[in-house]
Amino acid sequence: MTQAAAPGFVSFVGSGPGDPDLLTLKAVACLQQADAVLFDDLSAGPILSHARSGADLVGVGKRAGRTSPKQTHVSRLLVDYAASGARVVRLKSGDPGIFGRLEEEITALRAAAIDFEIIPGVTTASAAAAAAMIPLTRRLTARRLQFVTGHDIAGVLPQDLNMAALADPQATTVVYMPKRTFPVLAERLFAAGLPQNTPAMLAENVSRPEQNLLRDSMQALAKRLERDVSSAPGLILYGSLADAP
């Protein structure tokens, strides 16, 4: 009889927004030890140069408007690799726990009795603020920071968003995956009382050589995105700090 392989181990690793210099030391160490790396689109390129020679590199990223692996397939791959005894890195862009569907993959591993760890990464909101040389909070005028997704699983604006909270003038709000639904979101925010001239910033390809930061008012940015939406990954930050310094 052949002996079954001992269960492997999965490290959920945050790769940051794209600049390999923003990887943590622990993230690099995990990549260097992994037998298999399942990576998002935005974690590809120079970041994968840290992977061990001979490791399986498997792209499992999802991008709006493109054919992408189903989440059930990604979870199954994680379980299958780890069940064979492999040490696996699930390389997620930004931070694994922020709009990264981390919980679904954790659930699959727990059901298969496979151990795992979570290694945080620099989320794109922090990198975008750093690139723009602004803080995300400020005493008195930006007391609260909130992250929200711009689309649900069907790719449309979620219908259950708390518009009163998102229209709070004393909050800094960051919208992930925002561009296609931002004109609709902006109209709902204006109806909830957010001034149309509220400063906003569109940040695309954050931390990459092709990075683009565009500052405008909420109204003007919404009109711009009605006319043209690029395929570049981006987020939108709005609130009093968006036009600083």
pLDDT in tens, 188-219: 999 999 999 999 999 999 999 999 999 999 99
Q: Can 26 be counted among the known catalytic residues? A: no
* Stretch(es) of the chain classified as CATH 3.30.950.10: 124-243
SS3 9: strand
SS3 100: coil
Superfamily of domain 124-243: Tetrapyrrole methylase, C-terminal domain (3.30.950.10)
Q: Which residues pair with 171 in a beta bridge?
A: 144
CA pair distance 245, 236, nearest whole angstrom: 17
Name the active-site residue from 26, 41, 56, 62: 62
Q: Can 40 be counted among the known catalytic residues? A: yes
The answer to whether the predicted template modeling score (pTM) of the entire model surpasses 0.95 is no
pLDDT (tens digit per residue) in 114-167: 999 999 999 999 999 999 999 999 988 898 999 999 998 888 999 999 999 999
Superfamily of domain 9-119: Tetrapyrrole methylase, N-terminal domain (3.40.1010.10)
Backbone angles phi, psi at 231, to 5 degrees: -85, 0
Structural contact between residues 77 and 60, judged by C-beta atoms closer than 8 angstroms: yes
Name the active-site residue from 35, 40, 95, 216: 40
* Stretch(es) of the chain classified as CATH 3.40.1010.10: 9-119
